[in-house]
Amino acid sequence: MNTFTYDIPTRVIFGPDQLSRLGEELGNFGNKVLLVYGGGSIKKTGLYDRILEALHSGGIEVTELSGVEPNPRIATVREGIRRGREAGVNAVLAVGGGSSLDCGKFIAAAMNYPGDPWELIAGRIAVDNCLPIVTITTMAATGSEMDPWVVISDPEKKAKQGYTTYGMYPTVSFLDPTLTYSVGKYQTACGCADIFSHACETYFSPSGMEMTDRLLEGVMNTVVRFAPVALREPDNYEARANILWSASWAINGMVRNTQRCNWSCHPLEHQLSAWYDITHGLGLAIVTPRWMEAILSPETAPRLHRLGTAVFGVDADLEPLEGAKATIAALKHWLFDELGLASTLHEIGIGDEHFADMARGAVANGLPRGYVPMDEAAAVALYQACL
Amino acid sequence: MNTFTYDIPTRVIFGPDQLSRLGEELGNFGNKVLLVYGGGSIKKTGLYDRILEALHSGGIEVTELSGVEPNPRIATVREGIRRGREAGVNAVLAVGGGSSLDCGKFIAAAMNYPGDPWELIAGRIAVDNCLPIVTITTMAATGSEMDPWVVISDPEKKAKQGYTTYGMYPTVSFLDPTLTYSVGKYQTACGCADIFSHACETYFSPSGMEMTDRLLEGVMNTVVRFAPVALREPDNYEARANILWSASWAINGMVRNTQRCNWSCHPLEHQLSAWYDITHGLGLAIVTPRWMEAILSPETAPRLHRLGTAVFGVDADLEPLEGAKATIAALKHWLFDELGLASTLHEIGIGDEHFADMARGAVANGLPRGYVPMDEAAAVALYQACL
């Protein structure tokens, strides 16, 4: 078992109708904020107006960066830094799903860094002068609201890379399940596949802590159970609240700090969305069951079987290999039948033309240090199984 | 479902051989610390010497308060405040089990309060100028290392009362499972009964969050499974680490913030240990299964049955009432047979002479707001069932 440090400084304000506290929270850092958001859906839902009202009544001056794309790009980060410096902002308020949050967090980290922000990513350079970050999450998925990680893309380099530094833990995150009511079926499904994957990847980086295993099983079971409810009834508070809170816990330091090995499906998927700009959760849905099939062996079967028992109600009395196969079948049924996600790369127009490059990228991003180590040949075979 | 704020600022350094970081951590607050500990077992184990060495090499001046009793007393708190003020300490380092930690935390809270410290408890007065608190936990039980609560006794008043203020979250807590190797069988058993009770009480204050339920089941299952291992093999790292980390999560804000109702067994037990100075975990072991019997009904049976299924392997196919009874039987078997704790008040020399007063105290401390509301008559009946 590892020595670890547990340290999650983010304060979470969970529940509806809490945005009136926004001015007070941001006022702790100064009176100028950079507001970072995506494609404008927050204007349609009225959230934008509520935020501006809360900021203005709190005496906060707002500089805006809108139009953050899914898989946020380094060029957008550079523009945010430019605007933030010009206005002399004291904090970043990131509003939206994981992309807007990641973009805002990374802007906050790089604001006081004198070089180009991509240098931080390329050199894995920690910074100790991040601006304070406040987030308002409108989608349950990445857990970015409670972790110190971002994923940033550089389409010119075909690069999509993670970056972390302690200061990117948001200071305060507002989690209001009602703000996720307007997330459509497809994005809800992708988000739940993403949450499942975070917990699943961590589950296959065993900590040796029974409690952590149970928490992860709880996260997976929550999305397995409540995702179909949220698809049927988008404004079911219980379902949205359970999914939203699970998203944060699937990936925050609570479980990651006790990990023994690297994730596998994320390095494999990051190549897919870097080359084809697909939704991360969709890529994970296609990759994850094929990864389970690829690693299935007498050694891995008991843990796969336990997952199925705890999460999908797979019969505990099966032989481990049979139980593991039943787990994979149940996962596919959930992802492809219940959530209705595309089940193959073909269906989303992806062929095998870049598999060799993608396998190289996945290996460079940690695949050989996974639960079952994989090399480039294994990665190519896995991508082929996804076709 | 409740609106809640999640906010656990404590940083946990988990694992063996981390005490060399003590000087650096305390040095952040100044160079004078009040070292609070109990009956001197830390001198026998050599921990005291290791702590002083780390503090001295970090340039930290030490003022000591030793002899903190189980169920720490207000008189000891007053003495700690006196010494701390005289030396002008900048922080409190509390070392030991829950009693030493509670005492140290409350000294830190009251150090800058001009009145008598009991006023804070009696008036539930929050303070915003606590001294920073660092803890080194030597026993898995109360979770005091990661929560903002203390329980302080005033034997003259026959009072034992809880108190909380945000600043009593320790800034840093060192959790080293090897420091718990020397905890004897009886204290290990009492500690595990205490951990179980914290998770169990919270489980019967349902949050509506599936993930939280699973985490609590994980905590309970962890102690049920690993306590007998730790009793047989006191230096089994896996068992001690699992128990220690579960202790913190059984009672920190993660689960408590989402609670709907008050605890029941703790108010009942606090009266026992206030009147008879028994070990808190022992009192909880005697009270908890009788509380379950007292609240058993068709309404409560499903949740009791679920607990048994998840924690004790009770057959999920039983009828709820039968399942609930099997759960209670399994809990008794674990507490009284596997852990070897006394199962009745008679066995520990307690009779019925103060039941009416104790029932009044338990009701004053929240019993009517419990999962199943109880009045004084119900409390007396419950104490009688414990005889």
Mutate to test the interface with A, among B8, B146, B211, B255 (most CBs of A within 10 A): B211
Query: What is the reported pTM?
Result: 0.93
β-sheet bridge partners, residue B107: none
Q: For chain A, first and last CA: distance in Å? A: 38
Are B3 and A14 inside 8 Å of each other by CB?
yes
Rounded percentage of chain A residues whose pLDDT exceeds 90: 84
Q: Count CB pairs under 8 A between chains A and B.
A: 107
Mutate to test the interface with B, among A211, A255, A314 (most CBs of B within 10 A): A211
- Give yes or no for residue B258 having a pLDDT over 60: no
- The helix (run of H) or strand (run of E) holding residue B173 is strand B172-175
Return d(Cα A304, Cα A151) in angstroms, integer.
Answer: 28
- Give yes or no for residue A1 having a pLDDT over 80: no
pLDDT digits (tens, 9 = 90+) for B205-234: 878 888 889 989 999 999 999 999 999 999
pLDDT digits (tens, 9 = 90+) for A36-81: 999 888 999 999 999 999 999 999 999 999 999 988 999 999 999 9
Return d(Cα A318, Cα A57) in angstroms, integer.
Answer: 61
Give residue A376's pLDDT band: very low, low, confident or very high (50, 70, 90): very high
Q: Note whether B9 contacts A: Cβ–Cβ < 8 A.
A: yes
- The helix (run of H) or strand (run of E) holding residue A327 is helix A320-332
What structural domains does chain A harbor?
A: 11-180 (3.40.50.1970), 185-385 (1.20.1090.10)
Return d(Cα A292, Cα A324) in angstroms, integer.
Answer: 9
Q: Note whether A307 contacts B: Cβ–Cβ < 8 A.
A: no
The angle that helices B280-295 and B185-203 make with each other, rounded to 10 degrees, is 40
A-chain residue closest to B13, CA distance: A5
Are A246 and B218 inside 8 Å of each other by CB?
no
B-chain residue closest to A258, CA distance: B14
The count of other CB atoms within 10 Å of the CB of residue A319 is: 10
Q: Note whether B317 contacts A: Cβ–Cβ < 8 A.
A: no
Task: Give the closest-approach CA distance of A246 to chain B in angstroms.
Answer: 7
Residues of A in contact with B14 (CB under 8 A): 3-6
Are B151 and B170 in contact by the 8 Å Cβ rule? The answer is no
A-chain residue closest to B11, CA distance: A7
- Picking from B64, B168, B163, B70, the residue whose alpha carbon sits closest to that of residue B117 is B163
Q: Note whether A11 contacts B: Cβ–Cβ < 8 A.
A: yes
- Residues A315-322, mean pLDDT to the nearest whole number: 96
Q: Note whether B239 contacts A: Cβ–Cβ < 8 A.
A: no
pLDDT at A201: 93
Are B211 and A218 inside 8 Å of each other by CB?
yes
pLDDT at A259: 59
Q: Output the six-digit token pair for B213.
A: 């339920």
Q: Note whether A5 contacts B: Cβ–Cβ < 8 A.
A: yes
pLDDT at A255: 57
pLDDT digits (tens, 9 = 90+) for A298-310: 999 999 999 999 9
Give residue B40's pLDDT band: very low, low, confident or very high (50, 70, 90): confident
Tokens 């990864």 locate to A291
Q: Output the six-digit token pair for B323.
A: 């399942």
- Give yes or no for residue B95 having a pLDDT over 80: yes
Average pLDDT, chain A: 94
Are B16 and A3 inside 8 Å of each other by CB?
yes
Q: Is the dihedral of CA B360, B364, B369, B371 positive or negative?
A: negative
Q: Note whether B229 contacts A: Cβ–Cβ < 8 A.
A: no
- Residues A233-246, mean pLDDT to the nearest whole number: 96
pLDDT at A3: 83
Are B169 and B130 in contact by the 8 Å Cβ rule? The answer is no
- Picking from A248, A256, A268, A9, the residue whose alpha carbon sits closest to that of residue A141 is A248
Are B14 and A6 inside 8 Å of each other by CB?
yes
Q: Note whether B247 contacts A: Cβ–Cβ < 8 A.
A: no
**Better pLDDT: B208 or B128:** B128
Return d(Cα B284, Cα B287) in angstroms, integer.
Answer: 5
The count of other CB atoms within 10 Å of the CB of residue A351 is: 9
Residues of A in contact with B25 (CB under 8 A): none
pLDDT at B208: 84
- Residues A92-110, mean pLDDT to the nearest whole number: 97
- Give SS3 for B15: coil
- Give yes or no for residue B158 having a pLDDT over 80: no
Are B219 and A211 inside 8 Å of each other by CB?
yes
pLDDT at B260: 66
- Give SS3 for B116: coil
- Of the partner residues B11, B15, B245, the one whose CB lies closest to the CB of residue A211: B245
Residue A57, exposed/middle/buried by CB under 10 A (0-12, 13-18, 19+)?
Answer: exposed
Residue A341's region, left for phi above 0, alpha for psi from -120 to 50, else beta, is beta
pLDDT at B3: 83
**Cβ neighbours of residue A325 closer than 8 Å, sequence gap 6 or more:** A296
Q: Output the six-digit token pair for B371.
A: 């999962």
Q: Are strands A11-14 and B4-6 parallel, antiparallel or unpaired?
A: antiparallel
**Cβ neighbours of residue A353 closer than 8 Å, sequence gap 6 or more:** none
- Residues A262-276, mean pLDDT to the nearest whole number: 91
**Cβ neighbours of residue B59 closer than 8 Å, sequence gap 6 or more:** B23, B27, B31
- Residues B358-362, mean pLDDT to the nearest whole number: 95
- Picking from A214, A241, A339, A231, the residue whose alpha carbon sits closest to that of residue A288 is A339
Q: Note whether B13 contacts A: Cβ–Cβ < 8 A.
A: yes
pLDDT at A257: 53
Task: Give the closest-approach CA distance of B65 to chain A in angstroms.
Answer: 28
Are A108 and A131 in contact by the 8 Å Cβ rule? The answer is yes
Task: Give the closest-approach CA distance of A226 to chain B in angstroms.
Answer: 10
Are B287 and B294 in contact by the 8 Å Cβ rule? The answer is no
Tokens 């160079």 locate to B31
Output helix, strand, coil percentages for chain B, rounded to the nearest 5.
55, 10, 30
Rounded percentage of chain B residues whose pLDDT exceeds 90: 84
Residues of B in contact with A14 (CB under 8 A): 3-6
Q: Note whether B249 contacts A: Cβ–Cβ < 8 A.
A: yes
pLDDT at A209: 87
pLDDT at B182: 93
- Residues, chain B, total? 387
b/e sequence A143-167, b meaning 16+ C-beta within 10 Å: bbbbbbbbbbbbeeeebbbbbbbeb
pLDDT at B257: 53
Q: Note whether B200 contacts A: Cβ–Cβ < 8 A.
A: no
Return d(Cα A16, Cα A10) in angstroms, integer.
Answer: 19
Q: Note whether A229 contacts B: Cβ–Cβ < 8 A.
A: no
CA-CA-CA-CA dihedral for A226, A8, B198, A13, to nearest 10 = -60
Task: Give the closest-approach CA distance of B215 to chain A in angstroms.
Answer: 5
The count of other CB atoms within 10 Å of the CB of residue A80 is: 28
Are B218 and A218 inside 8 Å of each other by CB?
yes
pLDDT at B306: 97
- Residues B158-174, mean pLDDT to the nearest whole number: 92
Measured in whole angstroms, how far is the alpha carbon of residue A343 from the centre of its chain? 20
Average pLDDT, chain B: 94
- Give SS3 for B75: helix
- Give yes or no for residue B365 having a pLDDT over 90: no
pLDDT digits (tens, 9 = 90+) for A144-187: 999 999 999 998 887 888 899 999 999 999 999 999 999 999 99
- Of the partner residues A15, A211, A218, the one whose CB lies closest to the CB of residue B213: A218
